[in-house]
Structure 1
């Protein structure tokens, strides 16, 4: 089979010199092959993980999450300290949220941002202090805002004129003064998938630059609200700080104009820092990103002769993404003529778009490796697909896997710690997999997996049938009529 590039082979994808290599930038630092060729993560064998918890399985390296959280906090605190200010880092609950992960990131000094009542309750149950929580969202309900005010949440990022009035009324009824930020669309957006870019004008989040002035003016008229700063988020999967520099220029312009109405102690620059999903992804070190963002804000403030506010950021997937590996078992393998003189091997696994929706939603690229053994057979162009009844059920669109891949092999997809569990579904009535944390040779379930019984338990028809039978009534036969 020819391995020259074509429409079937992405430009970035090349046949690996070593088919069994685990690319360090993509996998958790603890992932490595042992003597029999299989892989351990966090000191735990993939065989042990399969035998104890089954597949598919989300595996999350606790030490990796903690290390990324700590390194990010230290990078931003150091960058801020050089300019004589403070920095706060928020963990993005939407990337991956469980009470255990909340405990990890809080212990490493991070705050947490949430965007629904469910995320809020998980964060609280995980021990996050209400004062260190931020509440996002473009359509927060009255009940959500009431709960946020009642617990004394640290800040609410307001997103519309309606929400300003709604929140002010709630806070006033409770005799509270709620701290708020105003989300702004700066017109700068990341060079990424259109649905991941969140600062351009034609989208649902935030205020325009002009609208933000009106929003802040109104907030300052309301005694139950306290305006503390602007918030902007330019996108996701961002590899360098260049986009933040332009966004900072526009944000600081607005910040400077608003200073005439009172102090503004904080500027939240958002985040969305990227990770490596494939060997060619090359995000800059978090220290470089932190320095670039803080330097840009400092330069813009100095140019306008205004004091530098404290800075907050929301790194997103970069805290948890690389810490996750999804483990599958290969079910079927078949080779098809894919065109242009190329064959493609379809490797079907026991999960799919229900546990990783990102390829279907965004066309996201992932990597894969056989992790139950090594192989000396020449790698072949492969597509890893799921078991769902959809032709778009693709886990890894293009990868070179051993030519002797076979049913029963364990296959792992790295960099699945963010937005895979969070976006998981029950499509085709598939139970969602468990999440297992690994560290220092030990593994434990941190989110229980679902069973078919769990899915049936939500079906009222099943419950009604069980109830009828439990009362002693029998189901009618084919001949019964009423």
Structure 2
């Protein structure tokens, strides 16, 4: 399970003093992250000092090859595991982790389908040229307009989340004379070993049908000529290590699947995503090949017990595809030692971003790592906390870390594993413009999402006077 801290522990048990505070933990950083002969961090063959000069900070950096390689590896793993059991597998990239037209192109070129959960995400996927038939549409409160647009676009499948939504969609397909493939989202009752806000299969939450109610939803779908029931969907949470939760959830959902086969064929079982990544040296995520094998074995075993054919499988990883590929760059502004007692001091390192570009620490208590990126240091490791510049005491980027004691204003600081849910959850709190997203590959860098300027922010203020150009950091 991902490292979790306690407010009563100045130094959490999982945090070890590093032998080298300049070292890069391999599982946390993109494979391309290395230091050059001057100690400057390179990502995708590009020095971070060059990135700062060209694009400014804060800056989201995304390693294109890392995204592509992980997408291929994930698809290969699930296809191979399913094939050994006589089934096929489809992998959807969960766009909520991070979505742009470039990323959609990367993952679709590597063979993945795409999962969207709003009309905006659908628009991005379509603008990127994604095949609508290889899109899945999620969400617990899809409006009539969103469902209409999804049917109009020819979205491959819509995941039904409630009886009200079901009737909305039934009316749309009847009016349009269309046929729409749908899945039914169910809550298996399995609790993921993760933060309560990240666990999504327990009963007391907003997503999906209970196992008891799902049968009635499927029966109603089968009554509607324009709706084609293709399978069940279940997602037990996010940032999950190990296969035990997936296996137990699969057992419960396969039981329902077997009961529903009496009413007709069910070609697909979608078991969602939620596969964890390493954010700190204490994290030990399960290799995707082991996950694929364990989950496919569990489904095959449950089907064999019930004497039913194994359905084709579908999965929806997002963080696992893009998370490790991302690194956020900041510039240090101030440092401040704070005595904690018992001869213990924590160094507060303030950077030029914060909870507006990465709210996960404040929102979930997420843990991250950090390293000085513009140089190496021979100074001793110092207990540190990386904080942002927002007017909030909870504005923490990295809660617990050891950084070289001589870290100083002007140093570049890199925070790895920020490819997922950082840009997606970013905000303009304190009127901070969102940073650009830059893709790096084989020694070159380019903007794939333009950063905001103060003028952009003022342009949305209807009462503000027209502004000149004041933005920087986007080529």
Smaller-chain TM-score range? over 0.9
Q: Does 1:352 align with 2:358?
A: no
- Give the C-alpha shift of residue 6 in structure 1: 7.8
The equivalent of 1:473 in structure 2 is none
Q: How does 1:150-299 map to 2 (within 5 A)?
A: 150-299=152-301
Whole-Å separation in 2 of the counterparts to 1:182 and 1:339? 55
The equivalent of 1:87 in structure 2 is 89
The equivalent of 2:15 in structure 1 is 13
SS in 1 for 2:440: strand
Q: Deviations over 1:63-83 (max 9, x none)?
A: 000000000000000001101
Q: How does 1:377-392 map to 2 (within 5 A)?
A: 377-392=379-394
Q: Does 1:43 align with 2:27?
A: no
SS in 2 for 1:381: strand
Q: TM-score, normalised on structure 1?
A: 0.95
Q: How does 1:301-340 map to 2 (within 5 A)?
A: 301-340=303-342
Whole-Å separation in 1 of the counterparts to 2:342 and 2:349? 20
The equivalent of 2:129 in structure 1 is 127
SS in 2 for 1:276: coil
**For 1:136, which of 135, 138, 148 is the aligned residue?**
138
SS in 1 for 2:80: helix
Q: How does 1:68-87 map to 2 (within 5 A)?
A: 68-87=70-89
SS in 2 for 1:460: coil
The equivalent of 1:472 in structure 2 is none
Whole-Å separation in 1 of the counterparts to 2:152 and 2:288? 36
- Give the C-alpha shift of residue 340 in structure 1: 4.0
Q: Deviations over 1:220-253 (max 9, x none)?
A: 1111111010000000001111111100110000
Q: Does 1:364 align with 2:405?
A: no
Whole-Å separation in 1 of the counterparts to 2:317 and 2:345? 40
SS in 1 for 2:289: helix
Whole-Å separation in 2 of the counterparts to 1:152 and 1:318? 27
Whole-Å separation in 2 of the counterparts to 1:298 and 1:466? 63
Whole-Å separation in 2 of the counterparts to 1:114 and 1:293? 23
The equivalent of 1:399 in structure 2 is 401
The equivalent of 1:474 in structure 2 is none
**For 1:59, which of 58, 61, 66 is the aligned residue?**
61
The equivalent of 1:475 in structure 2 is none
Whole-Å separation in 2 of the counterparts to 1:317 and 1:39? 23
Whole-Å separation in 1 of the counterparts to 2:18 and 2:8? 17
Q: Structure 1 segments of 4 or more deviating over 3 A?
A: none
CA 1:414/1:298 → structure 2, altered by over 3 Å: closer, same or farther? same
Q: TM-score, normalised on structure 2?
A: 0.96
Whole-Å separation in 2 of the counterparts to 1:287 and 1:360? 32
Max Rg structure: 1
Whole-Å separation in 2 of the counterparts to 1:446 and 1:466? 27
Whole-Å separation in 2 of the counterparts to 1:86 and 1:455? 47
CA 1:33/1:214 → structure 2, altered by over 3 Å: closer, same or farther? same
SS in 1 for 2:272: strand
Whole-Å separation in 1 of the counterparts to 2:35 and 2:107? 28
The equivalent of 2:417 in structure 1 is 415
The equivalent of 1:28 in structure 2 is 30
Q: Deviations over 1:402-451 (max 9, x none)?
A: 00000000000000000000000000000000000000000000000000
- Give the C-alpha shift of residue 337 in structure 1: 1.1
The equivalent of 2:472 in structure 1 is none
- Give the C-alpha shift of residue 108 in structure 1: 0.3
SS in 1 for 2:187: coil
The equivalent of 1:471 in structure 2 is none
- Give the C-alpha shift of residue 316 in structure 1: 2.1
The equivalent of 2:99 in structure 1 is 97
Whole-Å separation in 1 of the counterparts to 2:186 and 2:17? 44
Unpaired runs of 5+ residues, structure 2, are: 1-6, 468-475
- Give the C-alpha shift of residue 466 in structure 1: 4.3
Whole-Å separation in 2 of the counterparts to 1:466 and 1:26? 44
